[in-house]
Amino acid sequence: MTLNNEQSTDVQTEQATTFEAEEKQVFKLTPPQNLTEIFASICTKRARKLIYAPRDVLFEATFKVLGTDKKNDEGIKIKDILEAEIKAGEKLGYLQKYDGLKSSEIKEEYENDVVYEYAEQQFKKAGIVADGDKLKVYVYDWDGQACHHVGYLDTAETSQAVGYIADREAYSFDVCLIITGGKGKKVTKDESGKITVEKIKDGQLGLELDLTIIPRKD
């Protein structure tokens, strides 16, 4: 069947509209199918607040979260999860681009340095789950109703913590998940005193995890 010019234009318009709709589709976070199982085994802060003294600390360390540039155990890109959580956190007021600094303040505070959009800011809640010889890292939604797998910890670096995690009911866990990298700005001041700001558009989002373990208090 041969299409006339008007019919052909209609088909092209429909195809373009469909393509645009697909392009505008936004990634949506959904709870993992095994959420109940995760909640039953996760090491995280049980109460809203966990107060302790330095003498209470049994284990304390900071780790780089591995695999944030890959897919998680559900086959979802971890980058998509992080970006969705950051967007939600900013909307709710928990996160701010550049910690709320104005352009003039960025130039002053980050002279000849790089500043990232959300780096050093942290998510509201995070946790760790032991899965065989792996320690999986999870980030919670801002309402605390679900969490998502966002990477692993190096087993060699976490060997001293494994025993506490295996006996999770006897201990309290203070787990902080901190944003690293991502998009940002590079501030440069030349010899004449001129300041230029270059946008970093392709920075890779990453995570660091601060873990403190104490005898159970919550």
pLDDT for position 11: 47
**What does DSSP assign to residue 75?**
S
Say what percent of the chain tops pLDDT 90: 73
pTM of the shown model: 0.85
Cα–Cα distance list, 153 to 13, 34, 124, 128 (Å): 49, 21, 19, 9
pLDDT for position 5: 55
pLDDT for position 10: 53
- Domain parsing of the chain, residue ranges: 28-215
Mean pLDDT of the chain: 89
Rounded CA separation 159/29 (Å): 32
- Give tens-digit pLDDT for 111-146: 899 999 999 999 999 999 999 888 999 999 999 999
pLDDT for position 202: 76
- Give tens-digit pLDDT for 48-89: 889 999 999 999 999 999 999 999 999 999 999 999 999 999
Return the sign of the alpha-carbon dihedral for residues 104, 110, 113, 114: negative
Average pLDDT over residues 164-176: 96
pLDDT for position 193: 85
pLDDT for position 27: 84
What are the backbone angles phi and psi of residue 21, rounded to the nearest 5°?
A: -65, -40
Q: Which of 187, 186, 216, 188 is nearest to 200 (CA)?
A: 186
